[in-house]
Amino acid sequence: MKILVTGAAGFIGSHLCERLVSQGHQVLGIDNFSEYYDPKLKEINANDIKKVGVTLLTADLLDDLSIILPNDIDIIYHFAAQPGISATTPFTDYERNNIQVTQNLLQWSIHQNKNTQLFVNIATSSIYGLHATSTEEEAPMPVSDYGVTKLAAEQLVLASQRSGKLDACSIRLFSVYGPRERPEKLYTKLIKAIYDGTSFPLYEGSEHHERSFTYVGDIIDGLEKIITHKEGCNGEIINLGSTAVYTTGQGIALIEKIIGKKALIDHVGKRPGDQLKTAATIDKAKQLLDYKPTTDFEEGLRAQVAWYQEKFL
């Protein structure tokens, strides 16, 4: 199949590109290499996926996609977004990169791309709100600009599906970690701080926050299976995550154990919109995708530390 991955040089998108190529698919990636974090870090991912045969375009998804993209894409995985919960990111950035970009890509998929078999929207557990423990059928209650705009993007995609314009589904991911994790996220930021001997800012109370920390390889397993389960996934919202729950404090302690050195913790004020608990309910993923996350938490963190050592030390 010919598959488009948006946000292809990012954390999860780059892993999916590699997996899809390994399964014999023709993969076209697109990324705008935004300056949300150092584009040089994305260049490292980009070089890795180019080596395995991914064609990568540098472009903005608000541009005229009929000029940029071919019109014979079979499956679209839409990762590109304004990521994360940030007090310094203006709402206009979330609105542009989550809502407007999704709408533009949808319009191209419906009106210009002649082969669209499935549009896979990549959503987030932040849609659920402070306690992300719900099934997909329960009403979401996002509390951050990120969660609100990702919910809006999800509904744009599903509205197009409900009106018969294209087949689509939305996948809500839970606390993904592993090699290539973005530099502002918990474990990459913590690992860097320990090796650099600098302080690690820990938000007030966050050491007690509970998370369904899910290894990126387990997420990719679920995303890949959508291709062979397209009919069952059409119109569905599906949680992907680990059912094992750990506190942030437990994760920090494991990283310290793996590296063999304590972090210099700098306690800072609470982060607005931060979730108190995520616990993935994955009954639907098990039923529709035979989804079975298997990676042990410490095993996954060891892989992330090893990646950081290889790329940055």
Q: Which sign, positive or negative, has the C-alpha torsion 39, 62, 152, 30?
A: negative
Q: How far apart are CA 72 and CA 66, in angstroms?
A: 11
The length of the chain, given as a count of residues: 313
Q: How far apart are CA 45 and CA 297, in angstroms?
A: 23
| Residue 78 β-bridge partners | 6, 121
In the annotation, is 195 catalytic?
A: no
Q: How far apart are CA 255 and CA 189, in angstroms?
A: 11
CB atoms within 10 A of CB 140: 21
CB atoms within 10 A of CB 151: 23
Residue 134 corresponds to which tokens in the numbers above? 């719900």
Residue 147 corresponds to which tokens in the numbers above? 């969660």
Q: How far apart are CA 149 and CA 96, in angstroms?
A: 9
Q: How far apart are CA 175 and CA 197, in angstroms?
A: 26
Out of 146, 215, 246, 291, which one is annotated catalytic? 146
Q: Which residue has the tokens 């302690």?
A: 253
In 3D space, the residue among 282, 146, 265 whose CA is nearest the CA of residue 198 turns out to be: 265
Q: Count the alpha carbons within 13 Å of 228 in the hemisphere toward its beta carbon.
A: 10
Catalytic residues: 146
